[in-house]
Amino acid sequence: MCNRFALPEPEEIAAQFEVSLPEALPPRFNIAPGEEILVVRRDAGVRVLERSTWGLSPLWLRRPGAPLLNIRAETLLGRPGRSATANQGRCLVPAGGFFEWHRIGRARQPWYFRLRDSPLFGLAAVSETAGDKVDDAVGDPRKARRRCALLTTRPNELVAPVHDRMPVIIPREAYAAWLDPGLELAELLPLLGPIAAAAMTAHPVSSLVNRTGVEDPRAIEPAARESLF
């Protein structure tokens, strides 16, 4: 499960995802469920950057309750409702890193995971439009109607000691394929596994990230001079 991530360098979004930024975006260091996030999707053949709410309540949920923050990627195939969501609502969530918690007895130590060679990456996600359609452009101050959930997969060797799931990271060279509505999810299965551990790095961070609403750059800074291994 992934329920926190950061976007410390949003100015990199334009180059990384080949979209326009209609305004300067503030850095985010502790993005929590239910908050407004950014998604990149394809609309009429063009990539667009939109605001979305993190939390999806798709029609195929048997017991509607709290919105889904994460969806297991392996559960999307072979089920009509889920397949439709995966094929029609694929998008990318720009992120600089994500958090997971390592339980040690009763204590929980937060860790920050990021790519070694890039300040930004795209998290695989699916989205739907809830309620009446409105203009969801980043520059529009009105509340976004789009809602989304992140896809998760089994952990790689770096994440596994901390958590049994990790978000799906789409390689930059595969952004076009992931966003292409002409491709079925079945054709994209190789993208839904864990990214190579060697491409990532991780470090323990402060308990500041435990508190929602706290936007502090110290949330992603190393809490100790040590690595996961």
Active site residues: 2, 100
Q: Break the chain down into helix, strand, coil percent, rounded to 5.
A: 20, 35, 45
Alpha-carbon Rg for the chain, nearest whole angstrom, is 17
Taking the CA atoms of residue 71, residue 16, residue 6 and residue 157 in that order, the dihedral angle to the nearest 10 degrees is 60
Determine contact, residues 79/72, Cβ cutoff 8 Å. no
Task: Give CA–CA dist 126/137, Å, rounded.
Answer: 18
Task: Give CA–CA dist 168/124, Å, rounded.
Answer: 5
Determine contact, residues 151/192, Cβ cutoff 8 Å. yes
- Which token pair is 80? 């009509």
Task: Give CA–CA dist 150/65, Å, rounded.
Answer: 17
